[in-house]
Structure 1
Amino acid sequence: MGKLSSLLLGAATGAAAALFVQSKKGQKVAQQAKDWYADYQADPEATKEKVSQAAADLGQNVAQRYDEFKSGVQSGDITVQSVMDDVKAFSEKQVETLTEKFGTKEEVVAKVKKAVTPEEEIIIDMDEEADIVEEEKPLKTLPKVSAVPAGYYEEKEAEAEKEEE
């Protein structure tokens, strides 16, 4: 994922979270969380018991739904096609709801781009000399390494001298 698309995804997620928190439903959820925490502080054992009971009820509900689903599959009332149709219908409804609330994908992207793109060009005037602080450190040098065998150049010079004679 590119940097721009990651930025846009993050901005859109943040915007959606902000909208949720500001909505009536988001405020209700936040208040429920505060109330639960206050109850927990007041009586931790009673709150733990309520949570345990809610978990048990959820487990029974899931088991019941599983049994209903299993029976439907065995009887032929639930098929792969019927599940796919239900998922498709649910997805289309969610897209419709989100489009009504936030606009099309293109409109959301345009809004996010507008929100994160400055209206004016940002110019940073830097005095490079003032910002650069150089410390006087002696340079470390590596030992001279050669791929040429020791004495090679001397031999070549000697050969060149002999040829000149």
Structure 2
Amino acid sequence: MSKLSSLLLGAVTGAAAALFVQSKKGQEVAKQAKDWYADYQADPETTKEKVSQAATDLGQNVSQRYDDFKAAVQSGDITVQSVMNDVKAFSEKQVETLTEKFGSKEEVVEKVKKAVTPDQEIVIDIDVEEELEVADQPLKTLPKVAAVPADYQEETEK
């Protein structure tokens, strides 16, 4: 992955995290984390036992759901077509929700264009004569500086 891609991925991830933390759900999660940490500080052993039990329950739940899914596929209740239909219905619902919230695709594009295209022309006034005067001045150079002191060789040879 290129550095630019990594940078963009990091920026997007950071922005998403910032948006999440500012959301109501994000604030709830942050509160739960603070509460959990306070509980852990008060009684580490009990908190460890609760976490261990929650992980065990989650594992059993995932295993049960996998078994249910596998049985449904084997019985023909879940087919490729039924999954495709579910994905299509879900996608259509998401598009409908986003359209209600932000407007049609054309409206969103128009809003973005309006936001990034200024209504007024931007004029930057540059004094050309002043620029030419600066350009005509001779370049100043720095004095030569030796990287190693002149007497360094003499000291090391002794």
> Which category of TM-score, normalised to the shorter sequence, fits these structures?
0.5 to 0.7
Aligned to 2:77: 77
Give 1:105 shift.
Answer: 1.3
Shift of 1:136: 3.1
Aligned residue for 1:43, secondary structure, equals helix
Asked whether the 8 Å contact 1:39–1:47 carries over to 2, the reply is no
RMSD (CA atoms): 3.4
1:123 to 2:127 alignment: no
Q: Which residue of 2 aligns with 1:38?
A: 34
Report the CA distance shift for 1:36/1:115 in structure 2 as closer, same or farther (over 3 A): same
Partner Cα separation in structure 1 for residue 77 and residue 39 of structure 2? 47
CA distance in 1, matches of 2:116, 2:54: 43
**Change in 2 beyond 3 A, CA 1:47/1:104:** farther
User: Closer, same or farther in 2 for the Cα pair 1:121/1:53, shift >3 Å?
Assistant: farther
What are the Cα deviations for residues 15-56 of structure 1, in whole angstroms up to 9, with x where unaligned?
Answer: xx86x877xxx22x1321331242244233466655554444
- What letter is aligned with 1:122? I
Q: Is the 8 A contact 1:102 1:108 kept in 2?
A: yes
Q: Which residue of 1 aligns with 2:63?
A: 63
Residues 34 and 121 of structure 1: CA distance in aligned 2, closer, same or farther (over 3 Å)? same
Distance 1:41 1:80, change over 3 A: closer
**Which residue pairs with 2:140 in the alignment?**
136
Partner of 1:86: 86
The structure with the largest alpha-carbon Rg is 1
Could you tell me how far 1:82 is from its partner in structure 2?
1.1
Structure 2 stretches of 5 or more lacking a match? 1-10, 142-158
Maintained 8 Å contact 1:72/1:78: yes
CA-CA distance at 1:96 after TM superposition: 1.1
- Name the counterpart of 2:96: 96
- For normalisation by structure 1, the TM-score amounts to 0.56
How many corresponding residue pairs?
119
TM-score with structure 2 setting the length = 0.58
